[in-house]
Amino acid sequence: MSKVLDSGTTKGIPEDIQTKVHLDILLKEDLERYNPTIKSVLRVERLFRENIEFNSKNQILIKLEGSMKAPVLNVILKYLKGLGKILDNEDGSWTWIYAADNEKLKNSYKEAIEL
């Protein structure tokens, strides 16, 4: 864990903000090692928009047909998750949740019963 989060300076800061700060630190460290191009990020976004859900990271790599290394994909997934465009599920699957492009999600929202 980062020194900032371990130093006790986070008292009074909501947990979701602490988590976001920690993810930002981890993403920055990964970006220093594996720097994906904008083209790679857009390719993964397009893949998610077209397929909505993947059972695993390995399935994503297979769909990318070997054009991307696993560490680079991991950085891109962290980035998209941080933007709120994808969700990593407990079972290891990944889901596209960005409503602007997800017709199924938009329709579900329209048909939902208001509480």
Sequence spans of domains, the chain: 34-111
CATH architecture for segment(s) 34-111: Orthogonal Bundle (1.10)
Q: Return the CA Rg of the chain.
A: 16
Among candidate residues 53, 64, 61, 59, the one with its CA nearest the CA of residue 94? 53
**pLDDT higher than 70, residue 59:** yes
**pLDDT higher than 70, residue 101:** no
Which pLDDT score is estimated for 8?
A: 45
Q: Structure pTM?
A: 0.66
CB 97 within 8 A of CB 84: yes
Question: Mean pLDDT across the stretch 3-7?
Answer: 41
Sign of the torsion formed by the C-alpha atoms of 32, 29, 50 and 102: negative
